A and B are shown apart, each in its own frame.
Chain A
Amino acid sequence: MKKKIELLSPAGDLERLKITLLYGADAVYIGGQEYSLRANATNFSIDEIKEACCFAHKLGKKVYLTTNIVFHNEDIDGVYDYLKQTYEAGVDAYIVSDPFIIAYIKENFKNVEVHVSTQNSTCNKEAVSYLKSLGVDRIVPARELSKQEIKEIIDECQIDIEVFIHGAMCTFYSGRCALSNYLTNRDSNRGGCSQVCRFAFDINTNQEEQEKFTMATKDLNMANHIKEMIDIGIRSLKVEGRMRSLYYLATVISSYRKIIDRCYDNTLTKDFVKQEEKILGRVANRETSTHYFNKQADETDQYYTGRQELSNQDYLALVTGYDKENKMLVLSERNYFEPNTEVEIFTPSGKTFDFIIEEIYDENLNILEKACHPEEILKIKFEEEIEQYSMMRIKVKE
């Protein structure tokens, strides 16, 4: 029997890692302090990597370490010690792009997988076969591949294939873009990408009033195609976003967890996917598309002028405990809310509770007119205790 498809989440720090595993990710990918393509994320120290692995392994889940920069000479010396330390910390796989690292890991470490990063933009069966011959265990192909191309690779190469299902997309082939180097002196292939593809440019046309030239892409959202991805034999579904917030990750992982599980127990309906798409739509601040999966990406997959990235205010509070004596949820406030707000609490185990807030109390049980101080401890009446790390958001209407 085929293994159940893996849901792979990003995690920028330990708190995010724990949340995302509790919310249903089967594995997480993280970056250490060096050699990862998100040099400006919080990232993990060696001790934190150890703690991350312990936490994940206790849950029967995995931790993959991104070591996917394109190395310069100066990066080489320290990497061998780093690999040894992180191997001993217990990582389950390295996500790499530079082939000398593949060879080194395979020669020196046992029982750890090597996954080739999308940074390599692996586009075809022959390139996959070549990487497989080097001992690579999994490949994250170029994000430019169609469903048919991915299927052909899986059918012919019989190697684990991981694909992105949600989050930001690069405009250019990964690895084939140095705009950030030239415009901002930040090395995109060593984790310094300054997202120049989201800048607005002037273009020399003959038009008198010319719109700015932009090339920014919409985000990826594959919620409606998970069943197809399972059917063609993809091994792992990856969410983008090591620098995203706790709420974003909890929401996205929770939605995809439910969709995947429903695919396997044959209870997935169009209405369910539609509702999850609404939830996913509200947590993101960009429009989404499926890009190359079923067609060549075109103008409908990009943004042009006049778009603003609005910050999302849906996330109202984190559930931090339960006051049994007074039958109240203990909350840590995140965004403004007031009595009579229609809310929804969603939990790591996938339950949801919809209700209207009647009264808001401070931690000393004084009634408040509104909740308007981020991280303030609040209480609201609630009949039952619910899991820690549950989150309260504005109810997403069906």
Chain B
Amino acid sequence: MANREIQCTVNGKKRTFLIDVRSSLSDMLRGNAGLDSIKHGCDVGECGACTVLIDGRPFNSCIYLAIWAEGKTIVTLEGLSDIKGAISDIQQAFIDEGAVQCGICTPGFIMASIPIIESERPSTREEIRRQIAGNLCRCTGYENIVTAIEKTQQRRIAEKQS
């Protein structure tokens, strides 16, 4: 099977990968780029553990051909840290609210929540639930996850207004 060179921006850096054309984006990001926040959960788009942002929108990287990433801008959980490696507000909120138990689903939940916390209009808990409906967590019961996202959004909106 043919190999292919793929150029895309990953976490702010222009990268080139040599991949088998049968690779999924999760294969490329976890295997070739070594970004371990990408979890191979269900591998069929049901659980959301492999969620990344492609051009700002959440996608399941397990059901996305790596060759489709050509020219795209991709952000994974690793891309949320600042230059010194300090974690972001949403990651800290997951810790503070006890929204992490086994942790496998956490990167996917955080990436799925980015469009919500970047939105300037406050979301209801119901709206937050709808935005994370493509992510499964078998430990927490979701309440603390919703709270972490809700509080982060509220803090960001408050900071912008002050």
Q: Do A and B come from one complex?
A: no
